[in-house]
Amino acid sequence: MERRRGRVRARRGGALWVKGSARARPARSPHVSARVSPLATWPLPERRVWPLPPLQPAGTWAVAAARARAPRRDQVQGPRGWLPPSMANEEDDPVVQEIDVYLAKSLAEKLYLFQYPVRPASMTYDDIPHLSAKIKPKQQKVELEMAIDTLNPNYCRSKGEQIALNVDGACADETSTYSSKLMDKQTFCSSQTTSNTSRYAAALYRQAGDSSQDEAEEDVKQITVRFSRPESEQARQRRVQSYEFLQKKHAEEPWVHLHYYGLRDSRSEHERQYLLCQGSSGVENTELVKSPSEYLMMLMPPSQEEEKDKPVAPSNVLSMAQLRTLPLADQIKILMKNVKVMPFANLMSLLGPSVDSVAVLRGIQKVAMLVQGNWVVKSDILYPKDSSSPHSGVPAEVLCRGRDFVMWKFTQSRWVVRKEVAAVTKLCTEDVKDFLEHMAVVRINKGWEFILPYDGEFIKKHPDVVQRQHMLWTGIQAKLEKVYNLVKEAMPKKPDGQSGPVGLVSGDQRVQVAKRQAQQNHALLERELQRRKEQLQASAVLPSVRIKEEPMSEEAEDEEEPMDTSPGGGLHGGLANGLPAGRAAGGDSFNGHPPSGSAGTPVARELRAFVQATFQKQFVLTLSELKRLFNLHLASLPPGHMLFSGISDRMLQDTVLAAGCKQILVPFPPQTAASPDEQKVFALWESGDISDQHRQVLLEIFSKNYRVRRNMIQARLTQECGEDLSKQELDKVLKDCCVSYGGMWYLKGTVQS
């Protein structure tokens, strides 16, 4: 039971008035109207407890208890009780007592109100045996089966037998509705109350004597007769099918059988107690405290027709008026999901001055984390379960882990370097950039700075919340250490980013440290590279053979952040498939083939197994698509796996060629927008099945043509194989290697949108 700030005023006249509102929102109804004074205008007997009529839908009841005086002599009998003589003048009827009103929400989502519009209220079904009850929860459809008293003198037995005969027929079996061959039961089926009342109108019936013969007749107007267009057969079938489809969907929902408890059953008595006040709670709930304009909007919501006339907003946009009709928890979640980062003071200003800050604090901790005194939305809110990255296809679990790492870094410092985050999380640049744009801004030659200033006022005002958030961050830090295999010595001993102002570390200092580390790593890698070249030259059979040197990539020099254009930037720029190419096992090539001994290393075997498994599923892949699949494979591997040692593009291509695949030199048109990686097409040449010969002929066709028609492919296959291919065989070959677009066939990955 939750206490509300509503008050009941008892006047001397015996009438009860409500000051405040009683508003609730069951799960299936976004708008619930409230009852307003006068709530009742009849005198209450001594200590009588009365229920408020159920709100729409029946799910919330308000109850109050009051002791009112007996009616005075000057009161008059009204249609619903005793009325004071001058109800408009409140000064003549002073308030004698104010009583708290409590709102019971225990049955908010479980209470259904049944009304029988064609049966008097005095004739209830309380004492009639209920044979069965069942419900369809999604449709909110209920069926009650009640017995009929066949021994009643008013029961016509012949009619009952005739009805049973008409329903079941002469034969009786287990499926008969009336097994006793007599109509001894009836079934009540519920129907939803209408929500659109605009289809109803009131009319005045005029008697025959009220003729209008004396009125002036209007001039005869010409009438134009128009005939409606006859409905086509297709339109009629669509209309019938749509109705049948809806009926079928409704029929598919299974019935859930219920156990019925009578009115005087102890279980019913126990459940009815939830409709009454169980006692006041010490925690104030301020859901009912609204501004006058908001309260008026709740009492008189706009009609559906008016809402339809309003300009349609985008589906992802919610007005503040619509937002404030939602529960407080939903308001906080929607605001944080859209804003991403917000100080607590700004959140309170958006929710309104009447909202309790204690309730907001409870709600914000469910959807956000405290970073530098500000609230940042949780990762699982932005990346729900079963979702994936729009850039790389990485699952939501990996994205949440990477974003939590970025948030944790900001609890330690105001500055974060994107390259450091990418190196730890092994995520693509676009995903890491999305994380940082949610909570930081880029500074030239410095890095990413947290977007909001440190909120020391909130830290001092709410130490209990800060301590709770500190414990949560401690658990997240332990999880990140385990997942990313971080060195504990390098981690701060106490990641208390909330207990005081964050130590400001200059972005220039962080860049200088990163440069020094990159230069050291670069020197080590250069020495290792030179040592490998010397070993290859010493072990070469032909001294005149030159070793092909693969230059390091300089792609990272075009990055958005000038801070990355450093000597270390070239090192990080050698990222291939998200990993440094300089550290790639077997990164050098010997005349286009892997160096001696590299094919037998565990890394090479793991990479070859991945390539073979991938091409067995997809016979044709571009280098760009293969790299994307490899990144997804890396994201699914446990931390510390051998493939994380670094795989270069050259090593990946050499492994593909060594696995029995061939590169198809597709003649792309000169105006193509395909990237160099998209123009490198690899295909499995031999898979061991009977379609190898057909696929090889098909791949030779595409080595001379960018796109081909189906009849040309079929003719060439018939010519080369010496037999006509069936439609199923041709479809299989095309499905393995090609895609169709605009009547033409392309190799997979080569069609340009």
**In three state form, how does the secondary structure of 69-82 look?**
CCCCCCCEEECCEE
Q: What is the pLDDT of residue 470?
A: 92
How far from each other are the two terminal CA atoms of the chain, in whole angstroms? 60
Do 731 and 587 fall within a single domain?
A: yes
Residue 33 lies in a domain: yes
Most confident range, picked from 83-87, 138-142, 675-679: 138-142
pTM as predicted: 0.34
CA 116 to chain centre: 40
Does residue 340 surpass a pLDDT of 70? yes
Q: What residues contact 402, with CB distance under 8 A and at least 6 apart?
A: 421, 425, 427, 431, 432, 435
Do 16 and 86 fall within a single domain?
A: yes
Does residue 164 surpass a pLDDT of 60? yes
Residue 613 lies in a domain: yes
Q: Note every long-range contact of 488-497, with CB atoms under 8 Å and residues 24 or more positions apart, other chains counting.
A: 492/412, 495/408, 495/411, 495/412, 495/470, 496/470, 497/371, 497/372, 497/410, 497/411, 497/412, 497/473
Do 451 and 516 fall within a single domain?
A: no
Does residue 513 surpass a pLDDT of 70? no
Q: How far apart are CA 436 and CA 380, in angstroms?
A: 16
Of all helices (H) and strands (E), which one includes residue 11? Answer: strand 2-11
Q: What is the pLDDT of residue 693?
A: 82
Residue 223 lies in a domain: no
Does residue 371 surpass a pLDDT of 50? yes
Q: Which one, of 9, 131, 14, 6, lies nearest residue 71 by Cα?
A: 14
Cβ neighbours around 749 below 10 Å, total:
22
Do 633 and 722 fall within a single domain?
A: yes
Give me 121's structure tokens.
């209220």
Do 567 and 613 fall within a single domain?
A: no
Q: What is the pLDDT of residue 569?
A: 36
Q: How far apart are CA 698 and CA 681, in angstroms?
A: 14
* 56-84 tens-digit pLDDT: 333 333 333 333 334 444 444 444 444 45
Between 498 and 157, where is the model more confident?
157
The phi, psi pair for 500, rounded to 5°, reads: -165, 180
Mean pLDDT lowest among 130-144, 341-355, 565-579, 734-748: 565-579
Tell me the HSE value of 576 on the side-chain side, using a 13 A CA sphere.
Answer: 24
Do 715 and 593 fall within a single domain?
A: yes
Q: What is the pLDDT of residue 372?
A: 93
Q: How far apart are CA 522 and CA 308, in angstroms?
A: 65
Torsion of Cα atoms, 398 then 402 then 404 then 410, to 10°: 180
Q: Which residue in the block uniquely carries the two structure tokens 């939590």?
A: 404
Residue 274 lies in a domain: no
Do 667 and 638 fall within a single domain?
A: yes
Q: Which one, of 465, 103, 110, 106, lies nearest residue 287 by Cα?
A: 103
Q: What is the pLDDT of residue 59?
A: 34
CB of 566 closer than 8 Å to CB of 518: yes
DSSP string, 410-459: HHH-SEE-HHHHHHHH---HHHHHHHHHHHEEEETTTEEEESS---HHHH
Q: Which one, of 236, 148, 230, lies nearest residue 188 by Cα?
A: 148
Do 583 and 495 fall within a single domain?
A: no
Between 14 and 200, where is the model more confident?
200
pLDDT band at 21 (very low <50, low <70, confident <90, very high): very low
pLDDT band at 517 (very low <50, low <70, confident <90, very high): low
Do 404 and 500 fall within a single domain?
A: yes
Assign 141 to helix, strand or coil.
strand
Do 650 and 568 fall within a single domain?
A: no
CB of 451 closer than 8 Å to CB of 341: yes
Q: What is the pLDDT of residue 605?
A: 85
Last residue of a domain, one of 86, 104, 122: 104
Residue 717 lies in a domain: yes
Alpha carbon of 93 to those of 13, 14, 17, 81, 229: distances in Å?
A: 6, 9, 12, 17, 67
Alpha carbon of 701 to those of 77, 596, 671, 697, 704: distances in Å?
A: 99, 35, 21, 6, 6
Mean pLDDT over all residues of the chain? 72
Q: What is the pLDDT of residue 239?
A: 74
Do 655 and 720 fall within a single domain?
A: yes
Does residue 394 surpass a pLDDT of 60? yes
Does residue 344 surpass a pLDDT of 60? yes
Most confident range, picked from 210-224, 437-451, 533-547: 437-451
Mean pLDDT lowest among 158-162, 279-283, 336-340: 279-283
Does residue 370 surpass a pLDDT of 90? yes
**pLDDT over 90, % of the chain:** 14
Residue 383 lies in a domain: yes
Residue 480 lies in a domain: yes
Last residue of a domain, one of 514, 538, 573: 573
Q: Which one, of 164, 167, 130, lies nearest residue 257 by Cα?
A: 130
Which residues are paired to 6 by β-bridges? 101
Assign 46 to helix, strand or coil.
coil
CA 135 to chain centre: 28
The phi, psi pair for 729, rounded to 5°, reads: -65, -40
Q: How far apart are CA 713 and CA 468, in angstroms?
A: 68
Between 289 and 504, where is the model more confident?
289
The phi, psi pair for 590, rounded to 5°, reads: -115, 95
Last residue of a domain, one of 104, 122, 149: 104
Q: Which one, of 286, 630, 252, lies nearest residue 428 by Cα?
A: 630
* 595-618 tens-digit pLDDT: 444 556 888 888 888 888 888 888
Q: What residues contact 432, with CB distance under 8 A and at least 6 apart?
A: 402, 406, 418, 421, 422, 425
* 697-736 tens-digit pLDDT: 888 888 888 888 888 888 888 887 777 778 888 888 888 8
Residue 107 burial (C-beta neighbours within 10 Å; 0-12, 13-18, 19+):
middle
Domain count, the chain: 4
Tell me the HSE value of 598 on the side-chain side, using a 13 A CA sphere.
Answer: 22
Residue 651 lies in a domain: yes
pLDDT band at 332 (very low <50, low <70, confident <90, very high): very high
Q: What residues contact 563, with CB distance under 8 A and at least 6 apart?
A: 417, 444, 445, 446, 447, 507, 511
Do 425 and 514 fall within a single domain?
A: no
Of all helices (H) and strands (E), which one includes residue 682? Answer: strand 681-684
pLDDT band at 360 (very low <50, low <70, confident <90, very high): very high
* 201-214 tens-digit pLDDT: 777 777 665 555 55
Angle between helix axes 623-636 and 602-617 (nearest 10 degrees) is 120
The phi, psi pair for 188, rounded to 5°, reads: -105, 125
Q: What is the pLDDT of residue 692?
A: 80
Q: The domain containing residue 430 runs over which residues?
A: 368-504
pLDDT band at 229 (very low <50, low <70, confident <90, very high): confident
